[in-house]
Amino acid sequence: MTAHPPAIGHLEQLVGVSFCDAQLLRQAFIHRSVLNENPSVGLDSNERLEFLGDAFLGFMVASMLFERDPNANEGTLTKQRSALVQRDTLAGVVERRGWGSALMMGAGEEARGGRTRRSTLANLYEAVLGAVLLDQGETVARAFSLGTLRDAIAELDAGSLAVDHKSLLQERCQAQRWTNPTYRLVEDQGPPHARHYTVEVLVNSEAWGRGSGTSLRRAEKDAAREALEHFPLNVTETPS
């Protein structure tokens, strides 16, 4: 373990909520690597709280978007929800509020850059939200989440909050009970300092989109964007 558990008062100050059950808040800040390195430490990781927070966040954001714009269609609402709940949006909230500094983490995970890993930070946000929900109830948890996402919602309204096309495509596939999309490298060109990648995204083993970019991540996002352009909004059958 890289540090002693932070004081509850410090965690409450960071989060901005006074907890009835302090253990819930502390658990939200325990990364699973603590347990992996110290199996007898007698603590629980934040993964269960993350699960709960993720589910509540998706419902809460969908409900908020549905209520505030009666004229938005399903496609628009789905894209807006994806932009607000995506990893980079949640990680940005955690970074701005400094929550990551209080996350208990195993020494090995921290050495590998875990404290600044955006997926870890996004998971921390969901775990904190899950803790708030259990301790304070739905009304407070909704207000807490909308408050922490205020800047992201403003960016969404201004058109400056980018959609994570890979996450949105995966969400669409999961809604159809399909397997998750997979990405296949088609071409890798250029000198080592200026590589250019071409990638295909496969949905149910069929190529639905192709993208390119100066990194695999950019190429995959571009491929997912193209796949979404051809994704029917009301699909009921697996494509043949």
Q: What is the pLDDT of residues 194-226, one digit of tens each?
A: 788 999 999 999 999 999 988 888 899 889 988
Lookup result for tokens 């002693």: 4
List, by residue range, all CATH 1.10.1520.10 domains of the chain. 8-158
Residues 6+ apart with CB under 8 A from 190: 196
Is there a catalytic annotation at residue 109? no
Among 50, 54, 110, 222, the one annotated catalytic: 54
**pLDDT tens per residue, range 174-197:** 888 899 999 999 999 888 877 889
pTM: 0.74
Task: Classify domain 8-158 at the CATH superfamily level.
Answer: Ribonuclease III domain (1.10.1520.10)
Most confident region among 2-6, 20-24, 158-162, 170-174 by mean pLDDT: 20-24
Radius of gyration, alpha carbons of the chain: 20
Q: What is the DSSP string of the chain?
A: --SPPPPHHHHHHHHT---SSHHHHHHHTB-HHHHHH-TTS----SHHHHHHHHHHHHHHHHHHHHHH-TT--HHHHHHHHHHHHSHHHHHHHHHHHTGGGG-B--HHHHHTTGGG-HHHHHHHHHHHHHHHHHHH-HHHHHHHHHHHTHHHHHHHHHT-S---HHHHHHHHHHHTTPPPPEEEEEEEES-GGG-EEEEEEEETTEEEEEEEESSHHHHHHHHHHHHHHT--SS--S---
Candidate CATH numbers 1.10.10.10, 3.30.160.20, 3.30.70.260, 3.40.109.10; the one for domain 165-229: 3.30.160.20
List, by residue range, all CATH 3.30.160.20 domains of the chain. 165-229
What does the pLDDT read at residue 4? 63
Is there a catalytic annotation at residue 67? no
Give 62's pLDDT tier (boundaries 50, 70, 90).
Answer: very high
Among 50, 109, 110, 126, the one annotated catalytic: 126
